Chain A
Amino acid sequence: MPKSKSRSDVAFQIGTGAFGFVLIALVCGIGVILALESLPSIQKFGLGFWRTEIWDPVAGEFGALPFIWGTLYSSVLALLIATPIALGIAIFISELCPAVLRQPLVFVTELLAAIPSIVYGLWGIFVLVPAVRALETSLPDSLRKLPLFSGPPLGLGMLSAALILAIMVIPFISSISREVLKSVPPAQREGAYALGATRFEAIRAAVFYARTGIIGAVMLGFGRALGETMAVTMVIGNNPKVSVSLFAPQYTMAAVVANEFAEAADRLYLSALVEIGLVLFIITLIINSFSRLLIWSMARTEKIVAEPVETEAAA
């Protein structure tokens, strides 16, 4: 190989690699910058920040417990609603539906994911919240005494947030589960059918085979739900109180940053909000990495990814 050519190839590798490095630097940069900006809050409050329930910026009291509670509670509720539906959709599209319907259904579920968060929020305020309020008012008094349904039926609150989050994460979970199910070797189902399995039993075998990947898909949906901002901000009621009630207006980490950051005047207030953002970043980072790991490990055992042909031999 002539020397100039190999030198050009090295330059190409370094040149393009530098752009790739930008992505790595950005991820690290986000973590470092947010950590630096939240130092005042971290130094002042320490870990107590996450155990304190009082959020009163005017009095200079900052406790983030209501936000982390609201974020986790709304996301878990959303997943409880979304997971069975999303898996049903994934199974229907990949295993059951006639070939003609497949593409249109995939397109329609993708559309559900493509609608902007703000549009869901607008719809939430004017359509979903009144509907939820009507549902809450019609609930019999005997049930209303339970802590789960306590509080005035405002419509704005945890239930609306969980419903809108569920709608938004369904397409994510279903499209990844579909990919995962696609990677299950047909022999799994054929084997089951050959043993006289019904459709359900054959699909159960396939789903069992794909379980790691499906858990990964659900976790990825969880990561999405945790960070979802606009739609939740618009329907959850924005009240920093820890409550198990589905009817109670609550608050999430993303929502408090969205609502208060532009108006936060003093340094400590800003820093406290950045710290909430930092923790949100770390949680989603961990959850996303772990779920990708699960999906990858599943894909790796199933599909031997076609490596691009090594071209060095040409020399």
Chain B
Amino acid sequence: MTATGRRKLLSSLFVGFCAGAVLLALIPLALVLFFVISQGVLSLNLAFFTHMPTPVGEAGGGMANSIVGTLILSGLAALMAVPIGVISGIYMSEYAGSRFAAAVRFAADTLNGVPSIVIGLFAYVVAVLPFKQFSAFAGGFALGLMMIPIIARTTEELLLLVPGTMREGALALGATRARAVFSVVLPAALPGIVTGVVLALARIAGETAPLLFTAFNNRFFSTSLKQPISSLTVQVYTYATGPYEDWHRQAWAGALVLVAIVLVCSLLARLATRRLERMHARG
């Protein structure tokens, strides 16, 4: 074989390897989705959303308390993370060049990389230990900690995309910096920020590790913030690692709901960003 022939062959092999890598990564995705959907559909019914778990050995029942728990925990997290995240995002984009903004950005990236189980430990020491009780509040706090850096960085990036001329226009009309940001720049970026918040919510709704010893779990229906509360993820964990066939079926149904939340949120976000991009392209 000539040298050129060998080089061409090597090149084709390489292209083949890259395409193969994509296919290889699609296999686990397809398998996970296949099993979650096929197993989940079998035990997913209306009762799953409206009924409480049944005692061991009794078929049927649902995860109504866990679904409500996940909603409460996510709501608490958003309540804490959206203001802190959005405003620190504003700071990072408004004073992008400053050294302190760089420090905030570094802290956001660091916080984002902290393992979720470590976040759980921190939340335990800060929000469980002093009150000597697992609580929904502590769980929401832990999830909020995970949400802050995501929202901060999304807000920063989206604000930087807003054309500088809009800000300059506001300032030229005599607006203060706060006025320019809150009435002109922020509204322009708002649809994107809302999308970011939805994505962040989808991500933390699927978190388990930070809840294990903050929100803990609760077999009963509870909406009290001071009591332990159930969540879909922790309940799926309990069921998956338990010995009963019924539990496993419930776990798959719970997993299907979790995946559906993620899937719907990412699709919505994708559609929203595509619309935003088109708007920007039109200018």
Interface positions of A (Cβ within 8 A of B): 5, 8-9, 11-13, 15-17, 19-24, 26-27, 29-30, 33-34, 37, 84-89, 91-93, 96-97, 105, 107-112, 114-123, 125-127, 167, 170-171, 174, 198-201, 203, 220, 223-224, 226-230, 234, 254, 257-258, 261-262, 273-274, 277, 280-281, 284-285, 288-289, 292, 306-309, 311, 314
Q: Please, how many angstroms separate the alpha-carbon atoms of A22 and B107 in the complex?
A: 9
Cβ-closest chain A residue relative to B265: A114
User: Which residues in A have their C-beta under 8 angstroms from that of B94?
Assistant: 13, 16, 308
Partner-contacting stretch, out of B42-50, B57-65, B144-152, B218-226: B144-152
User: Which residues in A have their C-beta under 8 angstroms from that of B248?
Assistant: 126
| Inter-chain pairs besides A15-B178, A200-B11, 18 sampled, C-beta below 8 Å | A5-B174, A13-B95, A17-B91, A19-B88, A21-B104, A26-B111, A109-B25, A111-B29, A112-B29, A115-B259, A119-B255, A119-B258, A200-B13, A227-B114, A229-B117, A262-B212, A277-B121, A280-B115
Q: Interface majority SS on B: helix, strand, loop or mixed?
A: helix
Check if B243 is an interface residue, CB within 8 A of chain A: no
- Pick from B7, B32, B36, B100 the residue with the most CB of A within 10 Å: B32
Using known A-B contacts A89-B25, A111-B266, A123-B31, determine if residue A34 contacts B208 with beta carbons closer than 8 Å: no
Contact call A308/B21, Cβ cutoff below 8 A:
no
Give 28 CB contacts A-B under 8 Å.
A9-B178, A11-B178, A12-B181, A16-B87, A16-B88, A19-B88, A20-B101, A30-B122, A34-B121, A97-B22, A108-B26, A111-B263, A116-B208, A116-B259, A119-B32, A119-B259, A123-B32, A126-B39, A126-B248, A167-B25, A199-B11, A200-B7, A200-B15, A226-B115, A262-B213, A280-B115, A306-B160, A308-B93
Contact call B240/A122, Cβ cutoff below 8 A:
yes
Contact call B31/A127, Cβ cutoff below 8 A:
yes
Q: Please, how many angstroms separate the alpha-carbon atoms of A33 and B124 in the complex?
A: 11
> 6 tightest CB-CB pairs across the interface, nearest first?
A227-B115, A88-B21, A116-B206, A198-B11, A20-B104, A200-B11
Q: Please, how many angstroms separate the alpha-carbon atoms of A289 and B105 in the complex?
A: 12
Check if B55 is an interface residue, CB within 8 A of chain A: no
Contact call B22/A105, Cβ cutoff below 8 A:
yes
Interface residues of B in 84-105 (CB under 8 A from A): 84, 87-88, 90-97, 100-101, 103-104
Check if B176 is an interface residue, CB within 8 A of chain A: yes
Q: Please, how many angstroms separate the alpha-carbon atoms of A91 and B11 in the complex?
A: 13
Contact call B104/A308, Cβ cutoff below 8 A:
no
Give the size of the chain B interface in residues (CB under 8 angstroms): 97
A164 to chain B, nearest CB (A): 9
Q: Please, how many angstroms separate the alpha-carbon atoms of A93 and B15 in the complex?
A: 11
Contact call A277/B117, Cβ cutoff below 8 A:
yes
Check if B281 is an interface residue, CB within 8 A of chain A: no
Q: Please, how many angstroms separate the alpha-carbon atoms of A84 and B83 in the complex?
A: 40
Cβ-closest chain A residue relative to B256: A119
Contact call A26/B148, Cβ cutoff below 8 A:
yes
Cβ-closest chain A residue relative to B180: A311
Using known A-B contacts A96-B19, A118-B208, A311-B168, determine if residue A229 contacts B95 with beta carbons closer than 8 Å: no
Cβ-closest chain B residue relative to A87: B21
- Pick from B18, B97, B178 the residue with the most CB of A within 10 Å: B18
User: Which residues in B have their C-beta under 8 angstroms from that of A120?
Assistant: 32
Contact call A88/B255, Cβ cutoff below 8 A:
no
Instruction: From A30, A115, A257, give the contact of B114 (CB < 8 A).
Output: A30
Contact call B107/A16, Cβ cutoff below 8 A:
no
Instruction: From B15, B125, B236, B255, give the contact of A34 (CB < 8 A).
Output: B125
Check if B20 is an interface residue, CB within 8 A of chain A: yes
Q: Please, how many angstroms separate the alpha-carbon atoms of A174 and B43 in the complex?
A: 35
Cβ-closest chain B residue relative to A277: B121
Contact call A117/B208, Cβ cutoff below 8 A:
yes
Contact call B178/A12, Cβ cutoff below 8 A:
yes
B6 to chain A, nearest CB (A): 10
Contact call B122/A20, Cβ cutoff below 8 A:
no
Q: Please, how many angstroms separate the alpha-carbon atoms of A19 and B81 in the complex?
A: 11
Contact call A29/B122, Cβ cutoff below 8 A:
yes
Contact call B125/A37, Cβ cutoff below 8 A:
yes
- Pick from A9, A229, A307 the residue with the most CB of B within 10 Å: A229
Q: Please, how many angstroms separate the alpha-carbon atoms of A194 and B39 in the complex?
A: 54
B77 to chain A, nearest CB (A): 14
Using known A-B contacts A16-B91, A119-B32, A280-B115, determine if residue A91 contacts B18 with beta carbons closer than 8 Å: yes
Cβ-closest chain A residue relative to B205: A116
Using known A-B contacts A16-B94, A34-B118, A200-B15, determine if residue A121 contacts B104 with beta carbons closer than 8 Å: no
Contact call A227/B32, Cβ cutoff below 8 A:
no
Contact call A118/B206, Cβ cutoff below 8 A:
yes
Contact call A258/B209, Cβ cutoff below 8 A:
yes
Using known A-B contacts A20-B104, A27-B110, determine if residue A227 contacts B116 with beta carbons closer than 8 Å: yes
Contact call B262/A116, Cβ cutoff below 8 A:
yes
User: Which residues in B have their C-beta under 8 angstroms from that of A92?
Assistant: 18-19, 21-22
Contact call A85/B209, Cβ cutoff below 8 A:
no
Using known A-B contacts A27-B110, A116-B207, determine if residue A200 contacts B115 with beta carbons closer than 8 Å: no
Contact call B121/A261, Cβ cutoff below 8 A:
yes
Q: Please, how many angstroms separate the alpha-carbon atoms of A19 and B83 in the complex?
A: 9
B7 to chain A, nearest CB (A): 5
